[in-house]
A and B are shown apart, each in its own frame.
Chain A
């Protein structure tokens, strides 16, 4: 028997916000990622890989200024500022607007990548965390949005999740409502900030301050509470008369009808107060939740402005799914995939090493998981090792 590795008193530390995936975790992560990648491919999405770091100016184009303080930055040899990517959509937009400019539209791309944000580590999100996601570029149709939501639902099912809920919102509903209420630019910013911060008390204070007539005030305060099934669309419709808000509701209705065709409607609810990020999203937005996890595990929506920031206007929609959060959700619901069975441990007596190698190769060709002892052992030693390592069968050559 070999000696167990000695545990040290002092552990070699790793930086704040990073983590190791030990073999069991790494296996589970790879299994989930494979299921997701296969699923994306079945829907006609092609994988794309971009660099882990880029020029900070590229990554902060568009709405990135807000995230800039949370980026990991460093310098290249010409002292230009580089940063680790904080998400995958901006790098993909860069590629699509430049190197893939002539590609046949619409373009469907997926990725499985670590991304980096210097912020307080949360449940299932360190500073380095893994995302799986898709981008559907070159279509402004509700069919593209419905496909993205349906694919998100399918992806979560593919990963093994059973109990989850997707909430759909539409940023134009609130934009239109604020116009209708004739809020000035400052008041609009304040309302957006309150909604983004989930501050309903602040929203109530604002509604009093800007001197809205009672009906308008009621409508504004009702927005965060417009949550529920498809009836919410009709409930919202009577609250407003402006074209932009009504278009937003028609858009959600159209998406919902397509989701029924996908058979995904059982997962879908509406939440018109859910807006994620006003500066970035331009239409439908959504988040997915699972009980037992206090944070959304998936989010996305339509972002039609980002590619024009790269000089090549193109409508786009997509989502990202947090791999570690999926892993946590599976664990909390006792749905963790079981580790694959290890098949054969091969060991041998003196001078039988070559025979053992040949046998191991033969069994591996037959698809078995085979571990070969690095040195000769007695049969008793081999049995102990087989048990300790969890192999179903021992082949001992003597």
Chain B
């Protein structure tokens, strides 16, 4: 069976905090499969009755699966999507997984203006978004790409600041960091491959309408 069988819809879901809300929401729209769990050892989970396949992947890989058409659609945070720069259809704001991307510095080293940080080092998991943001402010920065524990950067003298996601702000406070500027707010998005959006338009479009309906109901 081909992964790109025209009768099947292949869905890429990210591991981590977006997995459960994504799976639950899609199930409400009729897309589910037995054994669809984040911890599943199976890489591809198929429901032949509903004609749907699920791929569970690392968060940052979801846009890649979708851009190349290995998955027709996927769920991914806007932050990761923007950072990937991949060419996919961004169909729907799913509303959950809300997070906040910002720049923070050690409390003791706060400077009066954003521009005062020009040409300093910034540790981040999101160098592309950061570069675009600072570029719009006419600033050049030195980007240090880290893959986790970004807040460690200023503590060990690796960087003067960080650009990172915050949810509650606890980690920032514990590490004596303060937010100095907000970069963007992100939520989970439903994305689609460019070709799938055309070749499987009816099915994807129907799904988008169903999801919109469900989301409207949830917000009431």
Chain A positions within 8 Å of B, measured between CB atoms, are: 122-123, 165, 167, 197-202, 204, 225, 227-228, 269, 271, 274, 287, 289-296, 332
Contact residues in B for A198 (Cβ distance below 8 Å)? 87-90, 194, 197
Question: Are A294 and B67 within 8 A (Cβ)?
Answer: yes
Which partner residue on chain B sits nearest A228 by CB separation? B201
Provide a sorted-by-A list of 11 A–B residue pairs whose CB atoms are within 8 angstroms: A165-B198, A167-B198, A198-B87, A199-B90, A200-B90, A202-B90, A204-B93, A227-B201, A228-B201, A269-B198, A332-B2
CA distance A200 to B91 in the complex (A): 5
Contacts A165-B199, A294-B67, A295-B194 given: A200-B6 contact, CB under 8 Å? no
CA distance A296 to B195 in the complex (A): 7
Q: In the complex, how many angstroms separate the beta carbon of B187 from the nearest chain A beta carbon?
A: 9
Contacts A201-B189, A227-B201 given: A295-B91 contact, CB under 8 Å? no
From the candidates A290, A294, A332, name the one contacting B194 in the complex (CB within 8 A): A294
**Which of A123, A271, A291 is most buried by chain B, counting CB atoms within 10 A of its CB?**
A291
Question: Are A294 and B90 within 8 A (Cβ)?
Answer: no
Contact residues in B for A165 (Cβ distance below 8 Å)? 198-199
Question: Are B91 and A289 within 8 A (Cβ)?
Answer: no
Contact residues in B for A289 (Cβ distance below 8 Å)? 195, 198-199
B175 within 8 A of A: no
Count of interface residues, chain B, beta-carbon cutoff 8 Å: 25
Which partner residue on chain B sits nearest A194 by CB separation? B90
CA distance A202 to B187 in the complex (A): 13
Contacts A227-B198, A292-B4 given: A201-B92 contact, CB under 8 Å? yes
CA distance A225 to B194 in the complex (A): 13
Question: Are B195 and A201 within 8 A (Cβ)?
Answer: no
Contacts A200-B92, A201-B92, A295-B69 given: A271-B198 contact, CB under 8 Å? yes
From the candidates B70, B87, B88, B199, name the one contacting A291 in the complex (CB within 8 A): B199
B68 within 8 A of A: yes
Which partner residue on chain B sits nearest A202 by CB separation? B90
B193 within 8 A of A: yes
Q: In the complex, how many angstroms separate the beta carbon of A166 from the nearest chain B beta carbon?
A: 10
B22 within 8 A of A: no
CA distance A167 to B197 in the complex (A): 11
CA distance A329 to B194 in the complex (A): 16
Beyond the given A197-B87, A291-B5, please list 12 additional residue pairs across the A-B interface where CB-CB is below 8 A. Answer: A198-B88, A201-B90, A201-B91, A201-B92, A227-B201, A287-B198, A289-B198, A289-B199, A291-B195, A291-B199, A294-B193, A294-B196
CA distance A290 to B91 in the complex (A): 21
Question: Are A294 and B195 within 8 A (Cβ)?
Answer: yes
From the candidates B5, B6, B70, B205, name the one contacting A225 in the complex (CB within 8 A): B205
Contact residues in B for A294 (Cβ distance below 8 Å)? 67-70, 193-196
CA distance A225 to B206 in the complex (A): 11
CA distance A287 to B69 in the complex (A): 16
CA distance A316 to B55 in the complex (A): 44
Which partner residue on chain A sits nearest B88 by CB separation? A198
CA distance A199 to B92 in the complex (A): 9
Question: Are A295 and B92 within 8 A (Cβ)?
Answer: no
Q: In the complex, how many angstroms separate the beta carbon of A311 from the nearest chain B beta carbon?
A: 34
From the candidates A167, A201, A225, A332, name the one contacting B93 in the complex (CB within 8 A): A201
Which residues in window 82-103 of B have CB below 8 A to A? 87-93
